[in-house]
Amino acid sequence: MGKSSKERCIKCRLIIQDCICRDIPTFWAEHKITLLTSKKEERIISNTGRLLRCMLGNISTVYMGEKGWQKAVESEITRTDYTPVIFFPIPPVCDGHSIMENTGKPLNIFVLDTSWKNARRWLHKPVLMNLKKVGIKTVPPSEYILRKQSAENYLCTFQAVTLLMAELRPKGFDSVSFQIHEKFKLWVKSLARERGLTRTTARF
Ligand SMILES: [Zn+2]
């Protein structure tokens, strides 16, 4: 029986005995996440956008290129209860706090959950082009050792979004962020072990 035929959890995609989904708190932040991804990306076991969906409550997904995706994006952008922004770590970026102060509304953060190359392409889609960009101020070393990193400070979607959340300080996030992070490290470790990956520089 090959590795691929092992039964996996449909949520975290780890083999059943390693599943991290039990006891994961679902955190409802005042900021919404709109995850832009693709069916192809979702099939990748090491995709971390899926983990965000297990752990965050205020999140919705749009599959880029699928029927109606533009309409779905537009209706997210035109929501009156949030200020739409796009998370992209290349300067110049706006400060999330000042945007919130100016509009008095929480953010609807569009997250490009795909490869670096695709993310740059998606960023230039007409429907997304006018969104204000937000970034993170301090980028720690990546803890994600499962995919080749295209740049020294490349962070996976999960790490990037949770760091942004920490900087935006949604109410109550402090108390769950440690727990969420521990689950993430466990998840990376399990997948790495499954794949026989060891890296002396792995930062756990
Ligand atoms: Zn699971």
More confident residue, 27 or 92: 27
pLDDT recorded at residue 5 = 67
- 122 CA to centre of ligand 1 in angstroms: 29
Distances from the Cα of 136 to the Cα of 96, 164, 165, angstroms: 9, 6, 9
61 versus 5: the higher-pLDDT residue is 61
Q: What is the mean pLDDT of residues 78-94?
A: 91
pLDDT tens string 165-201:
999 988 989 888 888 999 999 999 999 998 887 654 4
79 Cα to the center of ligand 1, angstroms: 32
15 C-alpha to ligand 1 centroid (Å): 8
CA of 124 to the centre of ligand 1 (A): 34
In percent, the amount of the chain with pLDDT more than 70 equals 89
Q: 14: CA distance to ligand 1 center in Å?
A: 6
CA of 81 to the centre of ligand 1 (A): 32
Cα 35 to ligand 1 centre (Å): 20
- Residue 11 CA to ligand 1 center (angstroms) comes to 5
Give residue 173 CA to ligand 1 midpoint distance, Å: 22
3-state class (DSSP) for residue 129: coil
For 144-171, what is each residue's pLDDT tens digit?
A: 767 665 555 578 899 999 999 999 988 9
141, 149, 161, 176, 195 from 203: Cα distances, Å:
8, 15, 19, 21, 17
Identify the residue with better confidence: 116 or 1.
Answer: 116
DSSP, collapsed to helix, strand or coil, labels residue 53 as helix
Question: Rounded to the nearest whole angstrom, what is the distance from the C-alpha of residue 17 to the centroid of ligand 1?
Answer: 9
- Asked if omega into 170 is within 30° of 0 (cis), the reply is no
Kindly report the pTM of this predicted structure. 0.89
Q: What is the whole-number distance in angstroms between the Cα of residue 45 and the centre of ligand 1?
A: 12
Domain residue ranges of the chain, discontinuous segments joined by +: 26-195
Distance 187 CA to ligand 1 centre (A): 9
Ramachandran sector of residue 172 (left: φ over 0; alpha: ψ -120 to 50; beta: rest): left
In this prediction, residue 113 has a pLDDT band, given cuts at 50, 70 and 90, of very high
What pLDDT, in 10s, does the model give residues 30-58? 999 999 999 999 999 999 999 999 999 99
- As a whole number of angstroms, the distance between CA 78 and CA 6 comes to 43
Q: Using CA atoms, how far apart are residues 182 and 140, in angstroms rounded to an integer? A: 16
